[in-house]
Amino acid sequence: MSQALTAAPGLPAVAIPSIPVRELLPWAFFFGLLAMIIVYFVGAEQGATSLFAGTDIHEWVHDGRHLLGFPCH
């Protein structure tokens, strides 16, 4: 439902559009999944839980790990 706000005299009223939840859910799911992937790579991609061989991923996110409070050594 749109609501009209009353404006100062002489100015037109502003309509506030509503955004259906169905349009937001795919975006919320996408950004939630993206956030989980980023947290995995920054927080857990090393050692026994590593998906990739070597320490390349760890070195790329090393400073971010310490910035966010994840211990790594």
**Structure-token pair, residue 45:** 């991609």
How confident is the model over 30-46, as pLDDT tens digits? 999 999 998 888 887 77
pLDDT for residue 4 = 55
- Whether pTM exceeds 0.85: no
**Dist CA 66 CA 33 (whole Å):** 22
pLDDT for residue 7 = 60
Percent above pLDDT 90 for the chain: 21
pLDDT for residue 5 = 58
